[in-house]
Structure 1
């Protein structure tokens, strides 16, 4: 499942022996695929600040940016093994290799609106998924970032269900992602995130789906300038920590991390949900993207509902899904 580049293997080899020890100063290692301007990175900086503020001991942070340590699928492996990366922010679908249930929290069309999304993330609705992830993957969720609204991004306009039919698009690796877009008539394929730009450029796929901040930060608009407002997902992006590293820390630092994770998550959700529309406007004003209305979203909802129900039933999570829908 994991495709390691030579660069990633070299970085991994260099860092495998540097597992954090609990001593006079604890060094916690983070990773971001993005630069300092991205909401993920800003949220992790806030997380670092809050950990230090809530902990009386000596702790420092080594956050590597711009994909220096690979992509999210690499981070999942590192977190599971307790090497190279101690904390980061991840899409749930990238953790599906260890936990079949975790992508439920990020299913397309799960949330009605931002108020519903924020109510769920401010509750303990996802506690069973958190427990499963810790057990299956050795990854601890300490907070929830997110709030970007994901739309279709394509080389050519996609404005209706007819134009969406057989549209070759990249989706994240969790099966529920492919099942969802297959149900609405597209032709989804799981492709590594760092291969999306070239895949569109060479015609392997015709588009993908993403939120505004990542489209701007990674310049996807250069190969896919058309954004169709399907608004199919309000993102859930857990702030995660390696359980192997977390469990080796002293109790006071563990508490500081949990407190910081919750507060940094709230900070990040407000940051990204507030900035999402502004970023779209910036790209449109700069002539980088053309934004299209999408006709047929209600039809998409009707087609996707049974897929969600079947997925939750398969996981034994029907009650959880109904609880989220009812909030």
Structure 2
């Protein structure tokens, strides 16, 4: 198989002892808890979180698709964000639940590459959609008279297609680079899923190559979208400050409050994981920290939009009245 990792007594550059890794075709993920008594608790916890996330985001999609009042660009992007969150959490949590149930942390090399690929696709897609939503709010607040003529259905669809293709390109680029490396230091991945950065850390290659890959992918998929979000909100805040009445300022800012909360949650947890990994020497602590943005962030998004958004609340009431 082209994905088979097989090598005999290969020596890594910085290792003094060679490892017999003949015929390796699988990796071992980290077990979140070595205590058998905690396994049923973790199984019930993550199964509940997964079901709440899927059902919550499906409810957001159902409300937006069935209520004509919400057929606007902002809610079109929100429904796509909910769909991306469902796919995002589905790349990691079902495998983790299966591992807890079977008490096995083995994942095949092909399965690891597939999980890593899907993880990159949907985390980049989340990133891109959040950026597009920031641009949408920028047009709505800074250019309200031209908003509907600019942000039409064709442009909205174009943004989603380009976001997906860009995410797919980043994912496949990372996969091609990962397939280029043949030798690995170990078969133990220090996380509960095939984290791209953890997989690169296992590569028997020079540090410069790995750092170039990590910084390049991080800059393209993280720094550029975040810069776009910062620029959009810089313009938004500047426009809001020029509004004379405090009521007008509140009304303008309330239209992007939910999006700003999701952006802070998404990037805040991701940055927190980065610093937790850099400061802590414990791989288990880093894996637990990564649960925040891979598991709990997709679960909290529908609650943020439903609790802070009057349009979603009204649409939910109308949906309840039609079903009863």
TM-score by length of 2: 0.24
Indicate the structure with greater strand content: 1
Structure having the higher Rg: 2
TM-score by length of 1: 0.24
Indicate the structure with greater helix content: 2
